[in-house]
Structure 1
Amino acid sequence: MEAAPAAAVGEFHERPVAPALRTVFAAVWSHRMPEAAAPPVIVTPDGTIDLQWIGGALRIAGPDKEPQTEIIPAGTEIIGFRFHPGAAHAWLGLPVSEITSRRVALEDLWGVRARRLAKSIRDAADIERALLADRVEHPSGDMVMHAAFTLIMQGAPAGVALIPWLARALQMSERSLRRRFDENFGYGPKTLDRILRYQRFLSLRRTSPKVPTALLALDAGYSDQAHLVRESRRLTGLTPAAKAPYPAR
């Protein structure tokens, strides 16, 4: 069965996370596969990291650098808690570069603590209750890296080199910048810039579906439509004409 963009398979819903968890998680989402046999799904890099409940266990969906194809059984519901930019590193207690482009059982990272967290979980509400009970161990995220994410999402000024611009804006050396990016995002600023530029394009296409793709590409920061097509194939395996997958894992 041919793989399909995640948005084309099953049902997806997103809502705010419980207030007490909002310093760590940006949102909670659910993605239910159809009851009939589902095709493999293509997950597009979006610059985020998720804590997921799937198949009765918790896992971490690490930051992706390239499209990932997953085979998920029919009828399965995935519940995801999306980390704020810069929050996963402190919460997990390891550099996220160690889990880049991977799906890792939380138990493999935390052992007994993860088993205790997962013991009574049946649905999204249970996950939130378990996370709230564990809240004393929820450290604050890296707010400087959160700011870096926001700057890149907005886009560097035209004609300005990305890394020196970021280093100046964040008042840190380029060496420190690269290290902190590896710890918090799993890759460097240029990779995050490519991923978030594509996310800008997807956002523009959703809000302005009648605008020609070539104009949307320029607005998103691509040099031309051919540049967009190359990056789309690199990040999704698809051309921009295909239905875009949403940022769920």
Structure 2
Amino acid sequence: MPDLDAHFQCVWTNAIPDDHVGPVAVVPDGCVDLLWKDGRLMVVGPDIVAASPELHGGTTVLGIRFRPGAALRWLRTPLSAMVGQSVDLADIWDPATVDELCQRIAETPSVELRATVLQQQLLRRLPALERPAPDAGAIFAAMASGSDEIGSRVASLVDRLEISERTLRRRSHDYFGYGPKTLDRILRFQNFLSLVRSQGKQRMAGLAYEAGYADQAHLGREIQALCGMTAGSFVRQITG
């Protein structure tokens, strides 16, 4: 819905196979989502390491993803307070309002219509909200670019936004849950993940260089730190 475009990146769904048992690995991506699952609306905060939520076989998850900095406006909570957490929306908004919204969604027969109902209800809250702060998008884009060393990008942001480095770190914690350096690590990892998905199994050294890592060993350490597995195991899992 166009009126929501300034606040949300996309609406998505994920159907869990009927025969699935156990947790689902969700790697950090620097984003915050509002999810409909198991009859409730949940806010999934930013992660620093891979999460392993338990999802029942046959579950269909409906999600809507906040744009950089938008979650702070909607949740009225610094994202640093939600790192690695999944929080019931009723703990943040008025419980009666959330219960009514959950009931409306539950009564809708298809996931497509549920997405429409969710967006329509979010539109009702829109007039009371400011747009995401412009510097949030600037910080996210600078860290996602990976064009220069992290120190150069931070220095450039400080000059362009006319703020101190300390203020930049504080705003980054408010918008994303962590500082620019951690955000840079996570977005570089997401760049690597996109390359694996688009190019398949290639030489790890080449993928590491293209994604912005110093070398293959650097990539391996980051995958182990963020996902708890070796680079080879991770790539095999992604490419199936």
Q: TM-score under structure 2 normalisation?
A: 0.88
**Which structure's relative contact order is higher, taking Cα pairs within 8 Å and 6+ residues apart?**
1
Counterpart of 1:205 in structure 2: which amino acid?
A: V
- 1:98 and 2:81 correspond: yes
Structure 2 distance, partners of 1:171, 1:185, is 20
Structure 1 distance, partners of 2:36, 2:236, is 24
Check the 8 A contact 2:44/2:87 in 1, yes or no. yes
* Equivalent position of 1:113 in the other structure: 97
User: Deviation per CA, 1:47-98, whole angstroms, max 9, x where unpaired?
Assistant: 0000111111111000001111111111111111000011100111111111
- 1:226 and 2:217 correspond: yes
| Identical columns (%) | 39
Counterpart of 2:29 in structure 1: which amino acid?
A: D
Structure 1 distance, partners of 2:131, 2:237, is 30
* Equivalent position of 1:60 in the other structure: 43
Counterpart of 1:91 in structure 2: which amino acid?
A: W
* Equivalent position of 2:117 in the other structure: 126
- 1:163 and 2:154 correspond: yes
SS state of the match for residue 52, structure 2?
strand
* Equivalent position of 2:109 in the other structure: none
Q: TM-score under structure 1 normalisation?
A: 0.85
Structure 1 distance, partners of 2:186, 2:236, is 14
Check the 8 A contact 2:37/2:60 in 1, yes or no. yes
Structure 2 distance, partners of 1:244, 1:91, is 38
Aligned length: 229
- 1:50 and 2:62 correspond: no
> If each structure's strand is expressed as a fraction of its own residues, which one has the higher value?
1
Structure 2 distance, partners of 1:103, 1:43, is 12
Q: Which of 63, 68, 76 is 2:59 aligned to?
A: 76
> If each structure's helix is expressed as a fraction of its own residues, which one has the higher value?
2
* Equivalent position of 2:227 in the other structure: 236
**What is the RMSD of the two structures over their aligned residues, measured on CA atoms?**
2.0
